[in-house]
């Protein structure tokens, strides 16, 4: 079997400004897709790490956690190991590692961003919407929605004007990141990213382990202060003030954190058990607030265990945005070795194959067909 590859018209090449004479300077290297990503995210490590535009509070979150834990390990652990047990720093260490890792994974994982529609897709959808459905041309159609029936429940799918797609169920457009995110929960400023289908389990692990960590530090700090005040008289306590000051600081931080974090964990545990998202809960999509008594959550399995398992232990869906793939450039035919000699006069649009994504061995090269200019001109919609 000959080694063939399909080359397709890449939508992003079409989505860029209308055809103009090739630029004076040829790009020296092929660009990766994250460099031309239309949303407001930022990327690090050559596309391996994705964060929202405003990640301003994430350093604060990290600093608070690291500082408080650091103070705990430095000032409380020696005393408690001596007076109680050596397990305390071990437990604290494990919790701390869990918290930091899950926080970083929540922040740096693609939450389930849906790539925007290619111009041809957008044109196809527009055609379907504008198709005569019995309405006269003078009647202005309502905002574009489509209805589907899921589990005997009517669900309205809205059209996203930015991404030019009908949003799948449970998908919402985040205005901060300017992306449609699947199973959109909320945009968390503390974490600096949206929480969606792909990183919800990391987020849940983060808040649960953080609850345990703050409660643990709170308990240890209280025990520490209690033991110290028992053992000594006023003078000794005064002498040790410099050490107990930090413990008191931990207490204050943990006291305020515990209520909010444990509360949040409890709320999200309820959401997981009911297979709801924060977005749906706030809007009251399935609780009948709008007056319709027949609604119920169509996505729930009606079993707490099954809901929990499907949300937290379900298969990990892949990232759809292919950050590290290469953007096909106009001069790719010259820069890449191709098997076929194209008739130069007729070739107006150059195609490239799908690039290798990072980390994994390249998939077998898909069959290539190089084509000439399409007979039909395709309206290119600008991706806002």
Q: Catalytic site residue 174? A: no
State which of residues 32, 75, 92, 170 lies at the interface with another protein (CB under 8 A): 170
Q: Rounded distance, CA 178 to CA 163, Å? A: 9
Token pair of 19 as six digits: 């055809």
State which of residues 183, 187, 224, 381 lies at the interface with another protein (CB under 8 A): 183
Helix (H) or strand (E) run with residue 51 in it: strand 49-51
Residue 148: name the closest of 166, 175, 173 by CA. Answer: 166
Is residue 145 within 8 A of residue 159, CB to CB? The reply is yes
Q: Which is nearer to another protein, 101 or 215 (CB)?
A: 101
Is residue 237 within 8 A of residue 229, CB to CB? The reply is yes
State which of residues 30, 49, 81, 157 lies at the interface with another protein (CB under 8 A): 157
Residues 68-107 that bind another protein (CB under 8 A): 97-98, 101-102, 105
SS (H, E, C) 177-228: CCEEECCCCEEECCCCEEECCCCHHHHHHHHHHHHHHHHHHHHHHHHHHHHH
Of the candidate spans 64-72, 83-91, 114-122, 218-226, the one that interacts with another protein by CB under 8 A turns out to be 114-122
Is residue 92 within 8 A of residue 217, CB to CB? The reply is yes
User: Considering 77, 160, 174, 188, which one is annotated as catalytic?
Assistant: 188
Of the candidate spans 38-46, 132-140, 145-153, 280-288, the one that interacts with another protein by CB under 8 A turns out to be 145-153
Is residue 379 involved in binding another protein (CB under 8 A)? no
Q: Which is nearer to another protein, 14 or 225 (CB)?
A: 14
Burial status of residue 237 (CB atoms within 10 A of its CB: 0-12, 13-18, 19 or more): middle
Residues 188-227 that bind another protein (CB under 8 A): 201-202, 205
Give the residue numbers marked as catalytic.
188
Residues forming contacts to another protein in the complex (CB under 8 A) are 1, 4, 6, 8-9, 97-98, 101-102, 105, 114-115, 117-118, 120-121, 124, 148-151, 155, 157, 165, 168-170, 182-183, 201-202, 205, 298-299, 306, 309-310, 312-318, 320-322, 340, 354, 360, 363-364, 366-376
């Amino acid at each position: 079997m000959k080694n063939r590859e399909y080359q397709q018209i890449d939508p992003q090449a079409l989505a860029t400004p209308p055809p103009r004479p090739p630029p004076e300077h040829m790009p020296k290297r092929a660009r990766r897709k994250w460099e031309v990503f239309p949303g407001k995210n930022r990327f690090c490590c050559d596309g391996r790490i994705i964060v929202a535009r405003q990640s301003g509070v994430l350093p604060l979150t990290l600093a608070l956690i690291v500082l408080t834990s650091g103070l705990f390990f430095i000032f409380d652990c020696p005393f408690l190991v001596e007076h109680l047990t050596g397990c305390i720093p071990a437990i604290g260490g494990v919790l701390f590692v869990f918290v930091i890792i899950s926080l970083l994974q929540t922040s740096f994982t693609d939450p389930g961003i849906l790539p925007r529609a290619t111009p041809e897709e957008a044109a196809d959808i527009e055609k379907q919407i504008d198709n005569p459905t019995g309405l006269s041309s003078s009647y202005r159609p309502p905002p574009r929605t489509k209805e589907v029936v899921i589990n005997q429940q009517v669900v309205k799918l809205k059209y996203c004007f930015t991404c030019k797609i009908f949003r799948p169920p449970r998908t919402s457009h985040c205005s901060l990141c300017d992306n449609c995110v699947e199973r959109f929960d909320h945009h968390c400023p503390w974490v600096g990213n949206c929480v969606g289908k792909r990183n919800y389990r990391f987020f849940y692990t983060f808040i649960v382990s953080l609850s345990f960590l703050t409660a643990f530090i709170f308990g240890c700090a209280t025990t520490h202060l209690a033991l110290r005040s028992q053992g000594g008289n006023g003078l000794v306590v005064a002498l040790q003030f410099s050490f107990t000051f930090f413990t008191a600081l931990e207490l204050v931080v943990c006291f305020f954190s515990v209520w909010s974090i444990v509360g949040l964990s409890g709320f999200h545990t309820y959401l997981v058990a009911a297979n709801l998202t924060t977005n749906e809960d706030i809007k009251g999509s399935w609780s009948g607030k709008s007056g319709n008594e027949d609604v119920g959550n169509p996505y729930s399995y009606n079993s707490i265990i099954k809901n929990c398992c499907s949300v937290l232990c379900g298969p990990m869906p892949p990232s759809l945005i292919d950050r590290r793939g290469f953007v096909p450039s106009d001069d790719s035919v010259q820069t890449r070795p191709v098997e076929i000699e194209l008739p130069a006069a007729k070739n107006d649009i150059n195609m490239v194959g799908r690039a290798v994504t990072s980390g994994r061995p390249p998939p077998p090269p898909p069959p290539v067909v190089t084509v000439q200019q399409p007979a039909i001109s395709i309206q290119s919609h600008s991706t806002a």
